[in-house]
Structures are given as C-alpha cells and as structure tokens.
Structure 1
Amino acid sequence: MEKNERLGDRIRNQRAAIHMTQQELADRLGVTGAAVSAYEKGARSPSLDILMRISKVLGVTTDELLAGKKQVVMLDVTNLTHEQRVMIHDMIKALEEYNAMKSIISENKKLNDKLKLLLEF
C-alpha cells in the first residue's frame, strides 16, 4: 500500500501543478472521478494502460510517476556550431513558453467553467 500512496501523491501533485481537477483528469482518462481519487489515495493501482495515459495527460514520464525521478537530458554542446546552440536555446525557450501557455489555458478553462456555473444561476 505504501508504494501506491507514493504513486498517488505524485499523481495528485502533478495534477495540482497543472491546475487540473480530479474530474478533469478522469474525463481525459475515460475513468470515473472516484477511480482517480482512489489512485491518488493509494487505495487502488492504475493499470499499465491507465498509468501511461496519466503520464501523457500530466506531461510526465511513467518513471517520474513510479519512481519520482525526473528525466534529465544532458547535451554536450562543445562540438556544436554557434547556430546550432542558438537553435537549441530557442527550442528550449519555445518549450518553456508552451508549458507556461498550457498552464494559463488550463487555468482559463477552470475560470470559464466556474463562470458558466455562475451564469446558470
């Protein structure tokens, strides 16, 4: 059970980091909100298929979820030209901006959903 609890903590922490609710994750996975809650509490283990889908939706590797280890990519740039280094730098900046935009879009979606609920009343 302890192993599942750590996995559950990682799922919950990563989900919270991208401002996603349990129900939003459940909808994206095609499972119930209760199933996601059970995964996060460590009461139930996700199947390998679900674990792979969780990692994709949350934008992490299965290794990060299972072992808590982030994948670090080291690149030896000493033999690259200046143009190649600039290109890599630009790609990294673009990925950082993409991740920031993804977070903003997720937050906007949550706010829009709340606004819709308020307007229904």
Structure 2
Amino acid sequence: MANKQKQFDIQFKKDAVKFCEDHPDMIHAECAAKLGVGNSTLARWKREYKNNNNEVQFRGSGNFSSDLEKENARLRRELKNTQKDIFLNLAFESYDSKSAMIHMKVSSRIWMRTNFH
C-alpha cells in the first residue's frame, strides 16, 4: 500500500505555528504530537514563519514560489490533458473509419457471393 502524505491547508499551518507560540510551556515534540504532525514538519513551518518576518507565506501543495508559477503549472496540465483528449478522439475516429471500411468490404463480399452464385 502506498504511503500517502498528509496535506495541510494554509490555515492549519498558521494555526499550528500560533499554537506553538501560545504554549511556550510545551516542548516542540509535544506541540507536534498534539497537532498530529511530524516534528520536522512543524519545525519547517516555524522556520519559514520566522524567516518571513513573522508572516506566514506558505504556498500549499506543489511548493510553487509564485502565483505565476502555479498558474503556469495549471496551464501545462490543462494543455497536456487537451492534447491527450485530441489524440484519443483521433484514435477513435481512425478506428471507426477503419472498422467501417472493413465492414463495408466484408458486407460487399458477402452480398456479391449471395447474389452472383
């Protein structure tokens, strides 16, 4: 079974960092355990918070450095899906044409056999 990572939204990350700040009596491991996240994950969130002048700038899943990069990735996915759809449609049209031609050939041979023998 694949090991799927949990994905946390931005609000949860903000709240987790705030929870640690609001509970200085708890050690880091206790905070992480209470929140249900790994020690290193919580440490990274706190470090990012501290490095961004106490502002939370978590990008969420995908780790894009800007909204422009995130939009480019979305457009690339959309283009790839569109290309796949076009390819599949052409493949099915080609298949339908070939099968129709084969059907016509077989039908004409059967017709000729039945009518000229």
Alignment TM-score, normalising by the size of structure 1: 0.30
Higher gyration radius (CA): 2
Alignment TM-score, normalising by the size of structure 2: 0.31
Structure scoring higher RCO (CA < 8 A, sep ≥ 6) equals 1
